[in-house]
A and B are shown apart, each in its own frame.
Chain A
Amino acid sequence: MTAPTTTTGPGGDVTGPHLTDADVVVVGGGPAGSCAALVAARAGLRVVLLERGPFPGSKNMYGGVVYPRILDQLIPQWWTQAPVQRWITRRSTMLLTDTQAMSVDFRSQAWAAAPHNGATAVRPEWDRWLAEEAAAAGAQVVCSTTVTGLLRDGHRIVGVRTDRPDGDLTARVVVACDGVNSFLAKQAGLYEHADAAHYTVGVKETLALPKATIDERFNVRDRDGVDIEILGGTGGVNGGAFLYTNLESVSVGVVLKVPKLAAQQRRPEEIIAALKAHPAITPLVDGGELVEYSAHLIPEAGLAMMPKVVADGMVVAGDAAALCLAAGIWLEGVNFAMASGMYAGESVVEAVRAGDVSETGLAGYRRRLADSFVLRDHRKLRRAPSLVLSDRVQHRYPPMIANTIERMFRVDNPAPKPGLRRILAEERKRAGVRVRDLARDAWDAMRTFG
């Protein structure tokens, strides 16, 4: 691999040395941007990574669990150096009503050993680490720099404008990894329309607790950790909730559909307070001292909102391309960001080497996404976001299920035990669920998750 200071390849669109400031400008030092920069820099391209925060990760917030296996391809034995809080060995899915809780609790000690499955990590550490990896590969990481727009030559994108003095930066390809609000993808006309219904807002509290207290309350030892995904507990606003263990803190928060949140009266921090007051949650978080309150948007609608990901001179990766899988009990974005960033980097290298950075030359990106888990998982789970966030799943099924189980386990002597089928029928009616809808949703769930 050689650093192409001049391009003389067939069809090369650049003939002199350094006609652009960089071969590649990557916007955004999140997981997508750092992986894109890492790959392009390793291939010998001149890469500049721009981040508006004072350090990579300083603007980024999420629930708390990364699934880093895609890094096997980029950083061998990544688990020996990644800034991990705990390795997830227990994963619970919890259903909450006002007074009830039901959990499906899974534990695998296999996940405590390399190469692991999920890990809790905090983004100011995780994102900074990944950006350092990109820098070590030769990318120039420039922080405290906000990109304010795209530079164009006709319809070709040829660089970015920043808020620095003389801040224009030309490049052969711009990789937009600027996150969920992606003003770059919008400015390039890649989003048809931004519909508020496609977004949820995540709001969380990081609560400090001693390690021994966390170990005891969550039934884990050493670096083992717990991931609890919650349906219900969002104050009647469509969404979900979560509770994760860091080493010496827990992350507790809610994810709320923006238009639904805006159309009711309870504020996000009040919804979190009610969640923490739930009898199933209080014993886990009690006494935790608030060390940070935070909020961030999530692109929630999957394939339904995905923009075009390639333009002349630009590709879009990560949340900027809505490549986030937020489908109920799945909340995965960092892995999709790292993977799409990696594929964006590979495709850019290919295009620059071939001397064609047009939409056609960059088409390998779309192909790589389609052939990998990135688009396959999204296609497989394409019905999940609307199903999981539907009014029935959110408001009617949880009490129906919890009440059914409560009556099944209730010992009402001298009354004899009722049959399960009768209880179910009664609770279904009480929850106002029609058989037809229940059957359809069950069928949808089978097709989606099956």
Chain B
Amino acid sequence: MSATGGPRSASTYPSLPFTERMATVEFRVHDRAHIVVDAAVCRDCSVRGCVVACPANLFVPTADGGIVFNYEQCFECGTCYLACDREGAITWSYPEGGHGVVFRHT
């Protein structure tokens, strides 16, 4: 039995659309994508840990079984490359100096 896995559907807290959630964060986007996802490697992946784990929700499954990735609103946290166990799926680096996420209230 899980301590917290029970019924939780009736959340009384108003939920915020995800785009509004991300709109609270400042991103200074650079032209170069600092993270690149190889859709070919993702195609036959059934685990898809990135989709649930990325706090910024940047890995989006497509109707035809692929993955679309957008680097612009990334926290640069590193969760995705740890969650993914497929060699070559994610090429990860930091954005150019001065670019990417800028926190203010953390």
Residues of A within 8 A of B (CB): 52-54, 57-62, 96-99, 122-124, 143-146, 148, 162-164, 180-181, 194, 196, 199, 201, 203-204, 206, 232-236, 249, 258-259, 261-269, 273-274, 276-277, 282, 286, 290-297, 394-396, 398-399, 431-432
Partner of B4, one of A235, A268, A282, A290: A235
**Ordered nearest first, which 3 A-B pairs have the shortest CB separation?**
A262-B49, A144-B98, A295-B55
- Does B75 reach chain A (CB closer than 8 Å)? yes
A395 touches B3 (CB 8 A): yes
Q: Are A394 and B52 in contact (CB under 8 A)?
A: no
Q: Which of B11, B82, B94 contacts A274 (CB 8 A)?
A: B11
By beta carbon, the residue of chain A nearest B15 is: A273
Which of A164, A235, A269 sits near B97, CB closer than 8 Å? A164
Q: Which residue of A lies closest to B48 (CB)?
A: A262
Residues of A within 8 A of B98 (CB): 52-54, 143-145
From B1, B4, B47, B97, give the contact of A232 (CB < 8 A). B4
- If A262-B52, A263-B49, A268-B55 touch, whether A206 touches B105 (CB-CB below 8 Å) is yes
Q: What chain A residues lie within 8 Å of B3 (beta carbons)? A: 96-98, 232, 236, 394-396, 398-399
For A196, list chain B residues within 8 Å (CB): 82-83, 85
Q: Is B37 an interface residue (CB 8 A)?
A: no
Contact B97 A145 (CB under 8 A): yes
Please tell me if the beta carbons of A201 and B103 are within 8 angstroms of each other in the complex: no
Q: B94's contact among A52, A206, A232, A394, by CB below 8 Å, is which?
A: A52
Q: Which of B4, B13, B95 contacts A96 (CB 8 A)?
A: B4
Rounded to whole Å, the gap between the CB of A196 and the closest CB of chain B is 4
Taking a contact as CB atoms closer than 8 A, the residue among A148, A164, A292, A295 that contacts B77 in the complex is A295
28 inter-chain pairs at a CB distance below 8 angstroms, sorted by A residue, are A52-B94, A52-B95, A52-B98, A54-B98, A61-B106, A98-B4, A98-B7, A99-B6, A145-B97, A146-B95, A162-B97, A163-B96, A196-B82, A236-B3, A259-B49, A261-B53, A262-B52, A269-B21, A269-B55, A274-B8, A277-B8, A277-B11, A282-B13, A293-B21, A295-B56, A395-B1, A398-B3, A432-B1
